[in-house]
Amino acid sequence: MIEFKHVSKLYSNGVKGLDDVTLQIKQGEFVGIIGLSGAGKSTLLRSINRMHEITSGELIVNGSEVKSLKGIELRKFRRSIGMIFQSFHLVTRTTVIKNVLTANVPDMPFWRVLLGAFTKENKIAALEALDKVGILEKAYIRTEQLSGGQQQRVALARTLAQNPKIILADEPVAALDPVTAKQVMDDFKRINKEMNITILINIHHVELALNYANRIIGIRAGKILYDGPASEVDEDVLNKIYGKEITKEEPKWESIIEY
């Protein structure tokens, strides 16, 4: 359970990243977060694992009040939340499996990290994670030899190796072509269904959000303007969120991208 209670975030330049946000997200939901650039999508997402500190209100994640966490408690809390970025954040000059194994580094003694001495259990878990995203055969290939879509799958496998309860994905398909983006979104959807992992995706492509997410959160200037089923998002809702005349079908992939 993720619960925002009147949460606001005010940046030092006076911009409101979040403005009195109240919402609940249950375990196992697949949530798409949509809105213009600068609307507060990333702020909403990154406040959940405290990459961004909220200014006021209360944010409770799996029973923990996020603002109160410190030190070991905060690190342990963050281990239960996977994070996927647009830019993959991989070490491209090493193998795929070594990238996935880095998920274990926070829990390892320093000498093991220094020597790269991962356990047999670590390696089995890494291979299982790669299998779940369909690239087990790439385990011992240098990451730089993979396509962008395959690299994003490596990043997803690394997150799965953490055994997370929640996955936060910040524009995970923005750098991918439409076909590859669909393949990666298929992976997210399958993992959500099979593993009951809560997934929140900040996404510019409205069409993808509506096709894959069960629930849509629409945000503008830090305020939640829509929170409900993807099936009920119509042109009036989209016009309210984006402030311009658009439709769900036209112009497809370029409907809402960076402004």
CATH number of 1-80+164-259: 3.40.50.300
Give the global pTM.
0.86
pLDDT at residue 115, rounded to an integer:
62
For residue 3, what are its two tokens? 């619960």
Residue stretches of the chain with pLDDT short of 70: 105-117, 244-259
Where along the chain do the CATH 3.40.50.300 domains lie? 1-80+164-259
pLDDT attached to residue 256: 40
pLDDT at position 255 is 43
Strands, E, within the chain: which ranges?
A: 2-10, 16-25, 30-34, 56-61, 64-65, 81-85, 166-170, 198-202, 215-220, 223-229
Q: Cβ–Cβ contacts within 10 Å for residue 90, how many?
A: 20
Helix runs in 55-177, H state only: 71-79, 96-101, 110-115, 120-132, 148-160
- pLDDT value of position 119: 82
The angle, 0 to 180 degrees and rounded to 10, between the axes of the packed helices 178-195 and 148-160 is 20
Q: Which amino acid is at 123?
A: K
- Model pLDDT, residue 110: 61
* DSSP 8-state symbol, 26: -
Identify residue 10 by its one-letter amino acid code.
L
Per-residue pLDDT, 241: 93
